[in-house]
Structure 1
Amino acid sequence: MTDNSSSLLDRSRTVAGPGYNRWLVPPAALAIHLAIGQAYAFSVFNKPLGALISGDVDKPASDDWTPLQIGVTFSIAIVLLGLSAAVFGKWLERVGPRKAMLAASLCFGGGFLIGALGVHLHNLWLLYFGYGFVGGIGLGIGYISPVSTLIKWFPDRKGVATGMAIMGFGGGAMIGSPLANNLMNHFKASAPMGVAPTFIVMGLIYLVFMQFGVWTIRVPADDWKPAGYVPSTEHNDLITTANVSADNAIKTPQFWLLWVVLLCNVTAGIGVLETASPLIQETFSDSAMGPGKGVTAAAAAGFVGLLSLFNLLGRFFWSSASDKLGRKVAYAIYFGLGMVLYALIPTLGHNLQLTLFVAVACVIISMYGGGFATAPAYLSDLFGKYQVGAIHGRLLTAWSTAGVLGPLIVHYLSNSRKAQGLSGAAAYQTVFYTMAGLLVVGFIANIVVTAVNERYYEKGPVTIEPGAH
């Protein structure tokens, strides 16, 4: 097949020419991550989906879906995010980001449309298949598609580059949540709770919005490098100038240590995100603070929004800082400072120190986001940029695991304490102490990371396979 007959989707058609401005690439990445980041706002559908038959979120009918049944939808999506990122990572490196981004947009948008049919028919399995399975595949492919491309464009600023894209995923809920609420209110008169038409409109909006990223993404030529850039490992013996394939990377202890690092960081972060609203309301209630002085449901929603903002900002701030600090030092901060702050949360709640409580939670969540955004740069340091997208995809199975493990730990420990008659901060005390313990494990795993042994390096020069076949 010649270049003249190659498809517009082939990687060969996305290689940038001489003089291309690399700062045009981050907006393309953001278009994908801002869209798929809607997943963080799925909880906005929880109550409406649980009242499709009764029409009253406070009085669900016996045939309405339960909160647990609805919550499984999000869990499926997160599990499929990790699995699809792992399965399709090498395919992405071969065909290039344009084809992968298009596949992600079709799956993510299509997942909404299939989910809409499930809502309309009140078929839970169709909702699981649509938003959970198909949409989850879109999440996984979309999450990793821009990352390896950005690392190739910004070898001198890997943390800044990946932070810009993954920041978008953290901020997607800030767009998706009000969009969903406004659409459901608009369609409420024409469909049960307005959910099905909202799914349709959102699916189409995201499908179209993601096309900006699909058609504007560019990859650098294999021999391209920033003007004046000279790879250096002078200040960090973890950074390699060699390359390790995805298949060899998973044979190294470094990969599995980073898998544990991400698992601990994400599981602990979910501990805060899962409990944020009920924890602050139950801890700083009217009975504890005084009549009319407790945290209301609206104020708790504002607290959750504030955490989303710090999740977003932390992804860019901490990953950018890691360019100066080094990835290992950055994670040492996430875990070292994090374990202290997690252990402090119950005490601040017990002493009714609301302002400090909110401030500490915001710092914790900023480092949770930072851990996500720093991971691809850490992988590139250790394994090179050859198949970093595929390696990152396999690492994200830790996220899938944490997405199941985190809520299980939180619900089991908090419900056990509540069954003992404890409430407020006391009910969540073991949750936060357990998460602090997890951070100790992550801290140790990060500390023992060393440079990858040369026997895993690719021999001779490496090039990415062309997309045209």
Structure 2
Amino acid sequence: MTQPVPTLKLFGQPAQRGRWFLIPLGMLILLCLGTVYSWSIFRAPLAAELGLSTTASLLPYALALVFYALLMPITGAYLPRLGSRRLTVVGGLVVAAGYLGASMANSGLMLALCYGVIAGMGVGITYGIPMAVVAAWFPDRKGLAVGTTIIGFGLSPLITAPLANALMQATSVRTALQILGIAFGLIIILCAQGMRFPPTDWAQMLPQTHRSTGAAHYPPSLLRSRSFYALWSCYALGTFIGLSSIGISGAVAQEVIGLSPAVAAASVSFFALFNGLSRPLMGWLSDRWPPRYVGMAMFTCVLAASLIMTTATLGDVAPFLVAFALLWFCLGGWLAIAPTLTLRFFKPADYAKNYGVVFTAYGVGALLGTLVSGQVRDRLGSYSALFYLLAALAILGIVLAATFLKPEPQTSTGVE
């Protein structure tokens, strides 16, 4: 006999209402994890203290992104067996260990190991769990729910970077790392207590008007599905473009547009708002629009932004702000589109495992985007040439999305 929804409780409320508390819990976890993007706050003082070169001082951040991406598919595979709460606690402890280890590092190698490998692994272990839990509780609003949850990761630098800087000013960079490591570990462990999946028949327990109307048949194998390779390729292109743009925003502001360092820093905070706010919007649209239209819209924005920047010169502040707001918006958009389409294209019960594999596209895009943007600057002496490459990649993305980014024929919901 089907259990009535009101008898299932979550956070002391009927589950249909209580499930909304999972979103701010997930946002808080991801807010802690997103501090990995604030490495630039710690980099300069640690580099000066340890005598590190620019390349060596960037290694912890690069390794953090790589291990973050590597641990996602591993965690996804073990999540059903180990459970969401237990894995979230483990991830929180690993993140804390990475920050505490970094605070005691006496060499560049130890710093890279602690902040890059250990903290990066902690982020990778924990990152996908809140989204998997939220997606399971919201089969009727999965795009909006997941997109809203990951706002925490996108907006984290806006909150945690000033906090880290204030702690460093009041104490020292090492003490700041210790305080943040302990605080993040405790917050994640506490939030983990609410991270649990719904019963397997939860979707049927929802009122008829709130149930998902998606197809019941999905490709038997992720890696044999054309939709997977289309999504992976578009996601890799989107993250390549987005992360290479994010990495050079401040430098372009100063070198190409001629802004002061203070104004350049303020512009980056402005762009971060677009990166965060695009996530719930594009998650919501990914539930409602045909997938290929969502992908084409994102790459069209990139094309427009890149063309604007190919003609930008000293003093073109407004075009610069518009272009980079679009570029940051698109990166945030893909971080909501990819998990939503993973839920839409493939079996929702396997979401954690499937999205872990899809997320490897982020790691590839992050690594190649960072390397290529640096090589363009080193070889050509300016970032301006990079925007011609981004425009070409945007055109490629439009073609890929228009042609291939759609469900397999047997999974079609009538919206293609």
**C-alpha contact 1:16 1:218 (8 A) present in aligned 2:** no
**C-alpha contact 1:279 1:428 (8 A) present in aligned 2:** yes
Residue aligning to 1:175: 159
Q: After superposition, what is the alpha-carbon deviation per residue over 1:391-429, rounded to whole angstroms, capped at 9, x for unaligned?
A: 1111111111122101111111122221xxxxxxxx222
Q: After superposition, what is the alpha-carbon deviation per residue over 1:180-206, rounded to whole angstroms, capped at 9, x for unaligned?
A: 11111112xxxxxx2221111110010
Question: Which shows bigger deviation, 321-330 or 432-441?
Answer: 321-330
**Where do residues 127-146 of structure 1 align in structure 2 (5 Å cutoff)?**
127-146=111-130
Q: Which amino acid aligns with 2:207?
A: A
**Where do residues 406-421 of structure 1 align in structure 2 (5 Å cutoff)?**
406-418=369-381
Alpha-carbon shift at residue 445 of structure 1 (Å)? 2.5
Of 33, 36, 53, the residue aligned with 2:33 is 36
Q: Provide the rounded CA distance (Å) in 1 between the counterparts of 2:183 and 2:25.
A: 16
TM value normalised by structure 1 = 0.80
**C-alpha contact 1:382 1:451 (8 A) present in aligned 2:** yes
Question: Which shows bigger deviation, 124-133 or 376-385?
Answer: 124-133
Identity %: 24
**C-alpha contact 2:304 2:323 (8 A) present in aligned 1:** no
Residue aligning to 2:3: none
Residue aligning to 1:355: 318
**Where do residues 316-327 of structure 1 align in structure 2 (5 Å cutoff)?**
316-327=280-291
**Matched positions, count:** 397
Q: Which has the larger radius of gyration?
A: 1
**Where do residues 433-452 of structure 1 align in structure 2 (5 Å cutoff)?**
433-447=388-402, 448-452=404-408
**C-alpha contact 1:153 1:219 (8 A) present in aligned 2:** yes
**C-alpha contact 2:257 2:320 (8 A) present in aligned 1:** no
RMSD: 2.0
**C-alpha contact 2:143 2:286 (8 A) present in aligned 1:** yes
**C-alpha contact 1:82 1:394 (8 A) present in aligned 2:** no
Residue aligning to 1:241: 216
Is the partner of 1:217 in helix, strand or coil? coil
Residue aligning to 2:5: none
TM value normalised by structure 2 = 0.90
Residue aligning to 2:340: 377
Say which structure is richer in helix. 2
Structure 1 gaps, min length 5: 1-13, 54-63, 188-193, 234-239, 286-294, 419-426, 456-469
Of 299, 303, 325, the residue aligned with 1:335 is 299
Residue aligning to 1:227: 207
Alpha-carbon shift at residue 15 of structure 1 (Å)? 8.6
Residue aligning to 2:173: 195
**Where do residues 383-394 of structure 1 align in structure 2 (5 Å cutoff)?**
383-394=346-357
Residue aligning to 2:21: 24
Q: Provide the rounded CA distance (Å) in 2 between the counterparts of 1:406 and 1:48.
A: 26
Is the partner of 2:408 in helix, strand or coil? coil
Q: Provide the rounded CA distance (Å) in 2 between the counterparts of 1:178 and 1:280.
A: 20
**Where do residues 10-409 of structure 1 align in structure 2 (5 Å cutoff)?**
19-20=14-15, 21-52=18-49, 64-118=51-105, 122-187=106-171, 194-225=172-203, 226-228=206-208, 229-233=210-214, 240-243=215-218, 248-285=221-258, 295-347=259-311, 349-350=312-313, 352-409=315-372
Change (3 A) 1:271 1:371: same
Q: Provide the rounded CA distance (Å) in 1 between the counterparts of 2:90 and 2:392.
A: 39
Alpha-carbon shift at residue 323 of structure 1 (Å)? 2.5
Q: Provide the rounded CA distance (Å) in 2 between the counterparts of 1:270 and 1:380.
A: 24
Q: Provide the rounded CA distance (Å) in 1 between the counterparts of 2:33 and 2:350.
A: 23
Q: Which amino acid aligns with 1:431?
A: L
Q: After superposition, what is the alpha-carbon deviation per residue over 1:242-283, rounded to whole angstroms, capped at 9, x for unaligned?
A: 3557xx212322212211111100110122212111111122
Structure 2 gaps, min length 5: 1-8, 412-416
